[in-house]
Amino acid sequence: MLDFSSLLLAAALSGTCLSITMLAIWFTAPRASFVLTVACGILVLVAHVVLFWRYTKDADPRLCQIVLALLSLGFLVICLSAMQYLGFRHYRRAIVPALAAMAACAAFTYFGFDGIGFQITYAAVTALLAAIGTMFWMKGDHDRRILLVVSFLSGACGLSFALCGLVLLAQGQWVLGAAPDNWAERLNSVVAVACMTGLGALTLSLHHLQAQIELKAETMTDPLTGLMNRRALSELYGDRSFGPFMAVAMFDLDHFKTTNDVFEHPVGDQVLCRFAAVIKKYGRTGVDAFRLGGEEFALVMSRMTPEKAHDMASRIGVAFGTEIVPTHRGPLRSSVSGGMGFGAVDGRTLDEVLAEADAALYVAKRGGRNRVVVQKKAGQPDAGPTLRSA
């Protein structure tokens, strides 16, 4: 037969080791704030376990209130850490119900109905763990294997707390006067230790996964403009076949070297950021913007006719022409030239479409700049009368 006190002390020791590990990770990577939140939640649960162990020796009503409040608070903090990691920002959806449950628990316990207080707390913890499992189950842009394991462990731990509450409810134990001690409580102690240990190990995996995601995002993002870079273009479209409803617009800021020479590089950076801001306004599903390097940009458009693709590129050029950058020499207006490349019915590679767009861009530069040009070639999609041909 398992010794209940030993189980509680094992849970406290396991939780302490986990929280120390989490804090050590956070100190080495402060940006991983969710790890700190997990550590804080586990520390609260450790305090709960220690005081609950004390409560099993001396069933003081005030101590009971503190024990139950710490249990709800600890899992609330862990739930908030899950929301923090997964990007769910509506924290009040978890905080308000949890605080309401804690208040109800405190009220019932104060009037001597500690059994009801335990039932309310177990129900609140079950709901919080169910919320954690559901959030990880729903989130699809991370490693599904890790997320599903987190969902399973959260669900198992929540089920063990639900059983504790159901046993008290089934036995009609509204007033206990002591710490509950039954088969469900013992099972919960074992399951909670196992699940919390597993969740702690998975937190390390999630931290490593998040670091990989952030590193990949950094390597595929232009630090000045926030647009994706040339590497991202190759990653996303390097193996794609460009069909008749796909197009690439290449842009090159006009006289940008002169802008840097006359107004200096900080102003040039502002001009680049202004164009990036303009091109971002046209971003939507199927439209991706990239900074290829220097003053050269690209826009990949999918599910769009050649006419509409050229119209969008032209509107970007017009919008950028209205932008004004204040400088020490007075207001600065800039313009941009563009060239279009299109896919084909039998498919074309990214390099082929980029080469066509680059050739059209060269024609736009020779033709006086401040325009978007498309070259018609045999076998290419008919651009229609709205497109400027070279």
Average pLDDT over residues 79-99: 90
Neighbours of 384 (CB within 10 A): 12
Of 175-179, 211-215, 241-245, 353-357, the least confident: 211-215
Split at pLDDT 50, 70, 90, the class of 1 is very low
Beta carbons within 8 Å of 350's beta carbon, 6+ residues apart: 233, 234, 237, 238, 240, 242, 248
**Contact in structure between 244 and 344 (CB atoms under 8 Å):** yes
Q: Is the dihedral of CA 141, 193, 99, 23 positive or negative?
A: negative
Average pLDDT over residues 205-209: 66
Q: Which residue has the higher pLDDT, 377 or 189?
A: 189
Task: For the chain, list the strands marked E by DSSP.
Answer: 228-229, 246-253, 287-293, 296-302, 324-325, 332-333, 336-342, 372-374
- The pLDDT > 70 percentage for the chain reads 89
Local structure of residue 126 (DSSP, 8 states): H
Neighbours of 35 (CB within 10 A): 27
Dist CA 163 CA 174 (whole Å): 16
CA dihedral 138, 232, 203, 86 (to 10 degrees): -40
Dist CA 293 CA 297 (whole Å): 7
Q: Which residue has the tokens 């019932």?
A: 108
Q: How many residues are recorded in the chain?
A: 390
Q: What is the pLDDT of residue 385?
A: 36
Split at pLDDT 50, 70, 90, the class of 390 is very low
**Contact in structure between 338 and 317 (CB atoms under 8 Å):** yes
Alpha-helix residue ranges (DSSP H) falling in 220-241? 230-237
**Contact in structure between 360 and 374 (CB atoms under 8 Å):** yes
Could you report the per-residue pLDDT of 261-310, keeping only the tens digit for each?
899 999 999 999 999 999 998 877 789 999 998 999 999 999 999 999 99
Of 24-33, 70-79, 186-195, 205-214, the least confident: 205-214
Beta carbons within 8 Å of 127's beta carbon, 6+ residues apart: 97, 158
Mean pLDDT of the chain: 86
Q: Is the dihedral of CA 249, 254, 260, 264 positive or negative?
A: negative
Dist CA 120 CA 241 (whole Å): 58
Split at pLDDT 50, 70, 90, the class of 13 is confident
Split at pLDDT 50, 70, 90, the class of 4 is low
Dist CA 70 CA 73 (whole Å): 5
Which of 249, 255, 254 is CA-nearest to residue 314?
249
Q: 239 pLDDT exceeds 60?
A: yes
